């Protein structure tokens, strides 16, 4: 495939869309947009030693958005004919209704530059080759130890073609191809059962499996389950915390990422309101949200409002530099979108979302960070998290963690949640390593919509955070 | 607002689950039956079709922030041949698309590993309950009335208490949903249901300190929505947390708000899935007939109870939903099964197949869990407990509650219980134990059964010997 994507008429004809936008604007709207999407995907699952199922599907449709003042009307349809689109435009315009004359829109097509080339479209790959990956993973996981009692693995690919046209004359398209592979294991021992998990997911085609070894994913998942069989309960109370490179980027996603989304800022529903230019974190913290990171899971050429992905510095040396913006919030503040307007699919309005959010390298030697921690918890891998942006309180779970005793990583710990307050935890970061790595892929849920996101960080230490274990049982 | 990241990267997106009503969705059933009749010799073919209409309104500062209206439809085709299953779906009911989807499912089936247990449901003679889950008001009431409800709720939230400084979201939402499933094995079932809801998050503040509280109200029709009570609920939950501090780490009794109990039962239900049990992925595996909870604890999944939001005449494979006793007097008595999981466990389906929407295949799951109610209300339970923590809400359930190991550790906020009364507010703490120990440490189960959207009812529950981690 080429590395630019033409806005050619692969989903909708520009002339049709111009007429649809005309209908949307008939009653004096400030802004109108047509978003069309065609998504195909395949998934295959292995469980209990068998290929359980191969599934494939297709969803396509379009949504029309009409904005008058602060009010947005939205309607969507699976009917991509002109009649279907006009009906959606009329329904959306019925809400955002000011009265007054309409206007016509002349679309100006522009090409879009891909972040990374897709070498092998998944749809061109025989299904049998996708199945084979699962069988290999199963074999590798089960060979990891006799205590491995159950293995499930899933392969998934998707191709999402989007088309965005709006009343500013914008007309762009993107072709987003993603591939992922996930393995979960259960291990059984005297202490009961434990589970382990590992995944790889990138915005690339099937060539992913030329560079990612499914055996590695499987043995990592198996190891996490096996290690926890001999784990002791996590401590209870405040502890120093060291996060391994690539294993803990979700800390920033929760501690400040969501709180820096302009929709929360606009509603005064974030602890970071009014903090631009202020010191909000330790001077060691420089945080970036970057949709242009090549094949990473949260990357794309254009966001779901047609704006090019950007690299946005959110916090620089501890000072808050900017929030993340979608088009509507940016318009109201008379500024540019930061390329963070995303949506799950054509059935949803876009909103402010992260892409790949990461902490940039510091200067410390990662081994020194551990060696200089007398007692604490070392987290090799975090699981999911959740935040209340209005209070800043957030949680994040461990998926692989160890005790640090006298500067050494020692015994494994059972899973527990950690809890902290965003601004407090950001100030308590007292060491940042020089060993940056991106972490596992995530799916971020907000207001009922899920989108793929990436996170990353070098090894770092937080002086105190509360861990919710049960030690002392 | 709460957001969460869960790993792994999610399965293809899940949509509204199948439901039911007394009026058959005739057109959909006809379509499903027609496609299912195209099974070839040696094939079993199941077609699930659904269609929905939705309206969502968000109010902000006395205006409509957004209003979305939508209709969507789709089909999921499952084909079994030689013990191998294939699946395909499409977000469309057009004839050409249906044919393409069937062909995909047929092709996909050739790649599965043959498994003697794989096969579709067959009619089992159990009659579906008579349930009325359809309220025409969702379709007949004009959009302007729905908008007015959202605006009224926002106005009330801002008017209840001067400490309310913002409304993070204030939504009205509804849906009218029809589905049908037909198969070459003799299944023909259709259903419809409606639902509408109001939900709001209030942000209360005093000085630099903010706290949030959510309120919601839901029903089959607009007549059951109560904006006044929803507003008061959200505001009270936000304001009573003002001044919250981190409590000292301790072992104590927790009293769970009904909403928290409902969330926890959702986790327990994953471990009661017959599929998880058969595949050794549940802490209940191998414990049938054993004492897994305190003697007073009974747990039932009953989708034939019309009050439950998960109520349904038919399960996702078209078998009649039924009342299933899971725990009785603390003894583990049953699991929930779909057809394949049941065959694997040498038993019969319990009519408990659920599906995330047309894009996913049926799996075993609960729809309408509730604990056998005790005699006490929330106030009396707090009084009986005397000292402990009243948990208003929990966070990090997906990352912190594990239905395989039973390990349990979640973020919590709420109010201390002192001298049998609610006392000072608490935030930024965790509560932890294992699900196994928690079931054995239940002290009180409230009589205050409240059906909530989701798969379990809410009730006040007190649990002893939990580890609180804080300062």
Which pLDDT tens digit goes with each residue over B404-427? 999 999 999 999 999 999 999 999
The residue behind tokens 């970071």 is A272
Nearest residue of chain A to residue B210 (CA atoms): A391
Task: Give backbone dihedrals phi and psi of A95, rounded to 5 degrees, phi first.
Answer: -85, -50
Residue ending a domain, among B213, B239, B265, is: B239
DSSP reduced 3-state for B55: strand
The residue behind tokens 């309220």 is B135
For residues B407 and A310, what is the distance between their CA atoms, to the nearest angstrom? Answer: 40
User: Are the Cβ atoms of B203 and A469 closer than 8 angstroms?
Assistant: no
DSSP reduced 3-state for A262: helix
Residue B209 inside a domain? The answer is yes
For residues B168 and B147, what is the distance between their CA atoms, to the nearest angstrom? Answer: 17
For the question of an ipTM over 0.95, the answer is no
Specify the pLDDT at position A422.
Answer: 95
Q: Chain B: give the shortest CA distance to residue A73, in Å.
A: 5
> Which tokens go with A359?
């902490």
Residues B136 and B228 occupy one common structural domain? yes
What are the E-state strand segments in A206-310? 236-243, 287-290
User: Are the Cβ atoms of B66 and A390 closer than 8 angstroms?
Assistant: no
Task: Give backbone dihedrals phi and psi of B47, rounded to 5 degrees, phi first.
Answer: -125, 125
Q: Chain A: give the shortest CA distance to residue B238, in Å.
A: 11
User: Considering CB atoms only, which of B9, B13, B210 is closest to A344?
Assistant: B13
> Which tokens go with A152?
């499930």
User: Are the Cβ atoms of B1 and A180 closer than 8 angstroms?
Assistant: no
Residue B319 inside a domain? The answer is yes
Give the rounded distance of the alpha carbon of A78 from its chain centre: 26
Residue ending a domain, among B239, B262, B292, is: B239
Specify the pLDDT at position A103.
Answer: 85
> Count of CB atoms within 10 A of residue A463's CB?
17
User: Are the Cβ atoms of A446 and B86 closer than 8 angstroms?
Assistant: no
- Work out the mean pLDDT of chain B and round it to a whole number: 93
Residues B209 and B266 occupy one common structural domain? no
Residues B290 and B380 occupy one common structural domain? yes
Nearest residue of chain A to residue B75 (CA atoms): A57
Specify the pLDDT at position B19.
Answer: 39
Residue B19 inside a domain? The answer is no
Residues B154 and B264 occupy one common structural domain? no
With beta carbons under 8 A apart, name residues in chain A contacting B468: 236
Residue B114 inside a domain? The answer is yes
> Which tokens go with B362?
């049926």
Specify the pLDDT at position A117.
Answer: 82
Nearest residue of chain B to residue A62 (CA atoms): B70
Residues B226 and B364 occupy one common structural domain? no
Q: Chain A: give the shortest CA distance to residue B60, in Å.
A: 9
> Which tokens go with B290?
């054993």
Structural domain harbouring B385: 250-469
- HSE of A468 in the Cβ direction (CA atoms, 13 Å)? 35
User: Considering CB atoms only, which of A95, A388, A419 is closest to B429?
Assistant: A419
One of 3.30.420.40, 3.90.420.10, 3.40.50.1820, 3.30.2290.10 is the CATH number of A4-229, namely 3.30.2290.10
Q: Nearest-CA neighbor of B157 among B224, B222, B62?
A: B62
For residues B251 and B258, what is the distance between their CA atoms, to the nearest angstrom? Answer: 22
pLDDT digits (tens, 9 = 90+) for A16-34: 999 999 999 998 899 999 9
Residue B244 inside a domain? The answer is no
Q: Nearest-CA neighbor of B1 among A417, A394, A467?
A: A394
Which residues, 6 or more positions from B268, have their beta carbon under 8 angstroms from its beta carbon? B299, B369, B403, B435, B439
Specify the pLDDT at position A109.
Answer: 87
User: Considering CB atoms only, which of A54, A452, A470 is closest to B111?
Assistant: A54
Q: In this structure, are residues A249 and A455 in contact, taking their beta carbons and an 8 Å threshold? A: yes
> Which tokens go with B427?
């935030």
Enclosing H/E stretch for A156: strand A148-166
Specify the pLDDT at position A67.
Answer: 95
With beta carbons under 8 A apart, name residues in chain A contacting B166: 267-269, 390
Beta bridge partners of A31: A67
Residues B218 and B80 occupy one common structural domain? yes
DSSP summary character for residue A146: T
For residues A218 and A206, what is the distance between their CA atoms, to the nearest angstrom? Answer: 18
Residues in chain A where the model's pLDDT stays below 50: 1-2
DSSP string spanning B131-175?
A: -----THHHHS-HHHHHHHHHHHHHHHHHH-TTEEEEEEEEEEEE
With beta carbons under 8 A apart, name residues in chain B contacting A346: none
Nearest residue of chain A to residue B93 (CA atoms): A78
Q: Nearest-CA neighbor of A175 among A331, A15, A259, A301?
A: A301
The structural domain count of chain B equals 2
User: Are the Cβ atoms of A388 and B433 closer than 8 angstroms?
Assistant: no
pTM: 0.94
Q: In this structure, are residues B154 and B147 in contact, taking their beta carbons and an 8 Å threshold? A: no
Checking phi first, is residue B386 left (phi over 0); if not, alpha (psi -120 to 50) or beta?
Answer: left
Q: Chain A: give the shortest CA distance to residue B37, in Å.
A: 21
Task: Give backbone dihedrals phi and psi of B416, rounded to 5 degrees, phi first.
Answer: -65, 150
pLDDT digits (tens, 9 = 90+) for B128-170: 999 999 999 999 999 999 999 999 999 999 999 999 999 999 9
Nearest residue of chain A to residue B470 (CA atoms): A237
Query: Length of chain A in residues, anyone?
Result: 473
Burial class of residue A210 in the structure, from the number of CB atoms within 10 Å of its CB (0-12 exposed, 13-18 middle, 19+ buried): exposed
With beta carbons under 8 A apart, name residues in chain B contacting A387: 2-4
Specify the pLDDT at position B469.
Answer: 96
For residues B432 and B411, what is the distance between their CA atoms, to the nearest angstrom? Answer: 9
Residues B232 and B259 occupy one common structural domain? no
The residue behind tokens 């001067």 is B162
Residue ending a domain, among B239, B266, B295, is: B239
**What number is the average pLDDT over the span B188-216?**
94
User: Are the Cβ atoms of B67 and A74 closer than 8 angstroms?
Assistant: yes
Angle at B445 between CA B419 and CA B440, to 5 degrees: 95
The structural domains of chain A, with segments of one domain joined by +, span: 4-229, 236-468
DSSP string spanning A324-360?
A: B--HHHHHHTTS---S-EE-SSTTS--EE--SEEEEP
User: Are the Cβ atoms of B432 and A470 closer than 8 angstroms?
Assistant: yes
User: Are the Cβ atoms of B2 and A388 closer than 8 angstroms?
Assistant: yes
Specify the pLDDT at position B16.
Answer: 34
CATH classification at residue B61: 3.30.2290.10
Task: State the angle between helix axes of A14-24 and A82-95 in degrees (0 to 180), rounded to the nearest 10.
Answer: 30
Specify the pLDDT at position A6.
Answer: 61
**What number is the average pLDDT over the span B1-6?**
44
Residues B381 and B254 occupy one common structural domain? yes
Residues B76 and B179 occupy one common structural domain? yes
Residues B179 and B42 occupy one common structural domain? yes
Residues B229 and B257 occupy one common structural domain? no
Nearest residue of chain B to residue A236 (CA atoms): B469
Residue B320 inside a domain? The answer is yes
User: Considering CB atoms only, which of A50, A70, A236 is closest to B249?
Assistant: A236
For residues B247 and B254, what is the distance between their CA atoms, to the nearest angstrom? Answer: 13
Q: Chain A: give the shortest CA distance to residue B12, in Å.
A: 8
Rounded to a whole number of angstroms, the distance between the first and last alpha carbons of chain A is 59
| Interior/surface letters A174-186, b for 16+ CB within 10 angstroms, e for the rest | bbbbbbbbbbbbb
Residues B82 and B199 occupy one common structural domain? yes
For residues B2 and B16, what is the distance between their CA atoms, to the nearest angstrom? Answer: 21
pLDDT at B287 over 50: yes
Residue B75 inside a domain? The answer is yes
With beta carbons under 8 A apart, name residues in chain B contacting A417: 396, 399-400, 409-411, 430, 432
The residue behind tokens 């929030």 is A323
Residue B289 inside a domain? The answer is yes
Q: Chain B: give the shortest CA distance to residue A300, in Å.
A: 16
User: Are the Cβ atoms of B410 and A417 closer than 8 angstroms?
Assistant: yes
């Amino acid at each position: 495939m080429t590395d630019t994507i033409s806005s050619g008429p692969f989903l909708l004809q520009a002339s049709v869309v111009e007429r649809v936008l005309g209908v949307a604007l008939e009653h004096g709207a400030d802004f109108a947009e047509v978003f069309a999407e065609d998504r195909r995907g395949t998934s295959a699952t292995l469980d209990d030693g068998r290929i359980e199922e191969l599934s494939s599907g297709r969803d396509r449709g379009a949504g029309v958005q009409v904005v008058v003042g602060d009010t947005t009307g939205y309607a969507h349809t699976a009917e991509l004919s002109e009649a279907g689109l006009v009906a959606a435009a009329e329904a959306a315009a019925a809400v955002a209704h000011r009265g007054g004359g309409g206007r016509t829109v002349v679309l100006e097509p522009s090409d879009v530059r891909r972040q990374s080339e897709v070498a092998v479209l998944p749809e061109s790959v025989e299904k049998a080759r996708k199945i084979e990956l699962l069988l290999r993973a199963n074999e590798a996981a089960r060979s990891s130890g006799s205590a491995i009692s159950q293995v499930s693995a899933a392969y998934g690919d998707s191709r999402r073609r989007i088309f965005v046209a709006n009343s500013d004359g914008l007309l762009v398209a993107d072709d987003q191809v993603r591939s992922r592979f996930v393995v979960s294991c259960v291990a059984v021992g005297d202490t009961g059962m434990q589970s382990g998990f590992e995944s790889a997911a990138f915005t690339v085609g099937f060539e992913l499996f030329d560079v990612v070894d499914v055996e590695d994913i499987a043995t990592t998942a198996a190891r996490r389950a096996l290690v926890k069989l001999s784990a002791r309960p996590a401590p209870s109370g405040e502890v120093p915390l060291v996060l391994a490179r690539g294993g803990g980027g979700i800390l920033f996603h929760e501690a400040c990422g969501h709180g820096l989304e302009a929709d929360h800022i606009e509603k005064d529903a974030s602890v970071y309101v009014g903090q631009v230019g202020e010191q909000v974190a330790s001077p060691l913290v420089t945080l970036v949200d970057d949709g242009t990171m090549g094949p990473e899971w949260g990357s794309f050429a254009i966001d779901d409002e047609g704006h090019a992905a950007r690299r946005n510095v959110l916090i620089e040396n501890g000072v808050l530099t900017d929030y993340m913006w979608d088009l509507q919030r940016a318009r109201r503040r008379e500024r540019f979108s930061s390329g963070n307007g995303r949506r799950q699919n054509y059935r949803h309005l876009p909103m402010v979302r992260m892409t790949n959010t990461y902490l940039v390298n510091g200067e410390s030697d990662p081994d020194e960070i551990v060696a200089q921690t007398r007692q604490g918890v070392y987290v090799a891998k975090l699981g999911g998290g959740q935040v209340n942006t209005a209070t800043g309180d957030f949680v994040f779970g461990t998926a692989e963690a160890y005790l640090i005793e006298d500067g050494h990583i020692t015994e494994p710990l059972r899973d527990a949640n950690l809890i902290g307050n965003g601004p407090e935890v950001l100030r308590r970061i007292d060491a940042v390593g020089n060993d940056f790595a991106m972490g596992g892929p995530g799916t971020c849920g907000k207001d009922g919509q899920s989108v793929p996101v990436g996170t990353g960080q070098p090894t770092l230490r937080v002086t105190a955070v509360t861990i919710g274990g049960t030690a002392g049982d | 607002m709460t957001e969460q990241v869960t790993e792994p990267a999610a399965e293809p997106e899940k949509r509204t689950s199948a439901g039911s009503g007394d009026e058959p969705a005739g057109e959909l059933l006809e379509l499903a039956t027609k496609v299912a009749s195209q099974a070839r010799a040696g094939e079993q073919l199941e077609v699930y079709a659904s269609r929905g209409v939705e309206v969502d309104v968000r109010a902000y500062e006395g205006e409509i922030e957004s209003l979305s209206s939508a209709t969507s439809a789709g089909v999921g085709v499952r084909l079994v041949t030689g013990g191998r299953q294939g699946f395909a779906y499409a977000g469309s009911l057009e004839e050409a698309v249906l044919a393409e989807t069937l062909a995909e499912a047929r092709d996909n089936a050739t790649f599965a590993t043959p498994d003697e247990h794989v096969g579709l449901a067959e009619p089992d003679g159990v009659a579906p309950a008579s349930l009325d889950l359809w309220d025409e008001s969702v379709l007949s009431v004009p959009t302007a009335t729905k908008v007015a409800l959202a605006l009224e709720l926002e106005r009330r939230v801002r008017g209840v208490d001067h400490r309310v400084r913002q409304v993070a979201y204030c939504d009205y939402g509804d849906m009218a949903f029809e589905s049908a499933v037909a198969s070459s094995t003799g299944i023909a079932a259709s259903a419809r249901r409606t639902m509408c809801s109001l939900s709001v998050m209030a942000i209360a503040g005093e000085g630099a300190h903010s706290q949030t509280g959510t309120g919601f109200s839901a029903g089959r029709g607009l007549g059951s929505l109560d904006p006044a009570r929803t507003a008061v609920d959200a505001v009270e939950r936000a304001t009573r947390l003002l001044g919250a501090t981190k409590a000292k780490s301790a072992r104590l009794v927790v009293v769970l708000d009904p909403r928290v109990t409902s969330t926890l039962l959702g986790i327990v239900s994953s471990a009661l899935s017959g599929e998880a049990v058969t595949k050794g992925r549940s802490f209940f595996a191998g414990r049938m007939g054993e004492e897994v909870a305190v003697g007073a604890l009974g747990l039932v999944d009953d989708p034939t109870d019309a009050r439950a939001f998960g109520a349904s005449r038919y399960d996702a494979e078209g078998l009649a939903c039924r009342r299933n006793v899971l725990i009785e007097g603390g003894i583990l008595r049953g699991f929930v099964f779909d057809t394949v999981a049941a065959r694997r466990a040498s038993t019969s389906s319990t009519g408990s197949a659920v599906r995330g929407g047309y894009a996913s295949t049926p799996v075993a799951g609960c729809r309408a869990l509730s604990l056998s109610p005790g005699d006490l209300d929330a106030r009396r339970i707090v009084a009986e407990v005397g000292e402990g923590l009243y948990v208003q809400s929990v966070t990090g359930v997906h990352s912190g509650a594990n239905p395989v190991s039973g390990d349990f550790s979640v973020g919590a906020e709420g109010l201390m219980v002192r001298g049998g009364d609610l006392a000072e507010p608490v935030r930024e703490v965790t509560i932890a134990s294992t699900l196994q120990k928690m079931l054995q440490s239940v002290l009180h189960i409230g009589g205050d059964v409240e059906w909530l959207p989701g798969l379990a009812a809410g009730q006040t529950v007190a649990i002893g010997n939990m580890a609180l981690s804080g300062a």
